[in-house]
Amino acid sequence: MLRYILGRIAQAVGVLWAVFTATFVVLYLLPSNPVALLLAAGDMQADDLSPEQLAALEAQYGLDKPVYVQYLDQLWHLVRLDFGDSISKHVPVSQLLDERLGSTIALGATAILFTLVGGLSVAYLAAWVQWRPAKILLARLPAIGVSFPPFFVGLLLIQVFAFSLGWLPATGTDGWRSLILPAVMMSAPTAAMLAQVLTRSLNDTLGEPYITTARAKGLSRNAVQARHALRNAALPALTLLGLLLGATVTEAVVAETVFTREGVGRLAQEAVLAQDVHVVQAIVLIAATVFVAINLVVDLIYPLLDPRVTHTQRVS
């Protein structure tokens, strides 16, 4: 078991290093000079700086050094969790993250909660309900959820719940009420995918002989489904959930734009457009860390649900 965990952690670190290197290479290859961006303006483009002033700015951001030195420099700083300064916003990246990470975490956590509750309850109900029309409706619901683009779902939610009914705010980053609509938007496709996979595997599991045995012992349908079927049907859903949660960061970009929320998602979008190297680096690494961490947790939960996982590892 320990070897399994250590192996997974080593793998995670390797992935992060690869992500850092890939981002560095991509950003370095892009044809532009970050210092020129300092002068790029929304209303005008001025490059009225003398070559000396440009050189001084390049030195300030360490852009005058050879590529491999910049690479090692950044890697060394990152190991110590120092992300450097934002080129477009003139403040340390850590300060930007400090300001914006909280609201994205709150949004992501709420969306994950909605994904779990929504996905689980739809799948559970779909397997449990006996009345055919309801069963069909519940089975089709996920397909609808997946097929609507999140952007459109967001605007629809705003139209209905903010503008027409006036129940929840359309924009802003204050309090739990402003979290609900964007979290619903983010969780709609993920909950739908989760429900789809879980419904399928629940239905498969419910056909297994041991379920018939459990039924025969006199357990209620609810008890059979909750205690026996769900646990065994959860494995494929868990794998999917790991992937879905990792995608939360990318979904936050859309949610934070539509709902005008402060957060890392929007920061990422702005940073990419402005080619703000240090900010992009930091966000990509955070996203990768979240992804890797979630999948690590998923991998660690596996053996608890199904002991065969670790066993097989040791044999091979």
Partner 1 sequence: MRKPRRIGALSLAAVMGLAACGGGGSTTASAGDTPVPGGTLKIAFWDDAQGCIDPNQVYWIESRSLDRQIADSLTDQDPETGKIVPWLATDWTVSADAKTYTFNLRQGVTFSDGTPLDATAVKTALDGTYALGPKSLLGLTYLAGYKSSTVVDADTVTVDFNTPNAAFLQATSTTTLAILSPKTYQETPEQRCAGKVVGSGAFTLDSYTAAKEAHLTKRKDYAWPSGLVKNQGAAYLDEIEVSYIKEDSVRVGSLTSGAIDIAWPREPISEADQQLVEAAGGSIESRPLPGISYQLVPNVAKGGPLADLKVRQALQKAIDRKTYASTIYWSEYPVVASVFDSTTPHFADQSAALAFDPDGAGRLLDEAGWKLGGDGYRYKDGKKLTLVDPVTVALPGDQLVQDQLKKIGIDLQLKVVTAAQRVEILASGGFDLVLTYLTRADPSVLGSVLDQAVSQQGSAKYSQDAATATKVSELFAKGLQATDPAARGQVYTELQQYLIAQGVSFPVYERVQVAGLSGKVQGFAFTSEAFLRANDIWLAR
Task: Check residue 82 for interaction with partner 1 (CB under 8 A).
Answer: no
Nearer to partner 1, 46 or 315 (CB): 46
Nearer to partner 1, 244 or 274 (CB): 274
> How far apart (Å, rounded) are the C-alpha atoms in residues 166 and 144?
25
Residue reference for tokens 């999917």? 240
Q: How many residues bind partner 1 (CB under 8 A)?
A: 44
Task: Check residue 158 for interaction with partner 1 (CB under 8 A).
Answer: yes
Task: Check residue 94 for interaction with partner 1 (CB under 8 A).
Answer: no
Task: Check residue 32 for interaction with partner 1 (CB under 8 A).
Answer: yes
Task: Check residue 106 for interaction with partner 1 (CB under 8 A).
Answer: no
Angle at 44 between CA 49 and CA 38, to 5 degrees: 45
Angle at 21 between CA 106 and CA 299, to 5 degrees: 55
235-294: contacts with partner 1 (CB under 8 A): 257-260, 262, 266, 270, 273-275
3-class SS of residue 40: strand
DSSP H or E segment with residue 79 = helix 67-79
CB of 96 to partner 1, least distance (A): 10
Task: Check residue 37 for interaction with partner 1 (CB under 8 A).
Answer: yes
CB of 166 to partner 1, least distance (A): 7
> How far apart (Å, rounded) are the C-alpha atoms in residues 94 and 231?
41
Task: Give the contact letters, 43-62, x = binds to partner 1 (CB under 8 A), - = no.
Answer: xxxxxxx---x---------
Contact 195, 123 (CB under 8 A): yes
Nearer to partner 1, 195 or 258 (CB): 258
Length of the chain: 316
CB of 39 to partner 1, least distance (A): 7
> How far apart (Å, rounded) are the C-alpha atoms in residues 242 and 240?
5
Task: Check residue 163 for interaction with partner 1 (CB under 8 A).
Answer: yes
Task: Give the contact letters, 205-234, x = binds to partner 1 (CB under 8 A), - = no.
Answer: ------------------------------
Task: Check residue 42 for interaction with partner 1 (CB under 8 A).
Answer: yes
Residue 314 CB-half CA count within 13 A? 10
Nearer to partner 1, 75 or 273 (CB): 273
Any residues with CB less than 8 A from the CB of 281 and at least 6 apart, and which? 20, 23, 24, 27, 74, 78, 83, 84
Task: Check residue 160 for interaction with partner 1 (CB under 8 A).
Answer: no
The values of phi and psi at residue 111, to 5°, are -65, -40
Task: Check residue 91 for interaction with partner 1 (CB under 8 A).
Answer: yes
177-206 and 150-157 are packed helices; what angle lies between their axes, rounded to 10 degrees?
Answer: 130
CB of 302 to partner 1, least distance (A): 41
**Residue ranges that bind partner 1, judged by CB under 8 A:** 30-34, 36-37, 39-49, 53, 89-91, 155, 158-159, 162-164, 166, 169-173, 257-260, 262, 266, 270, 273-275
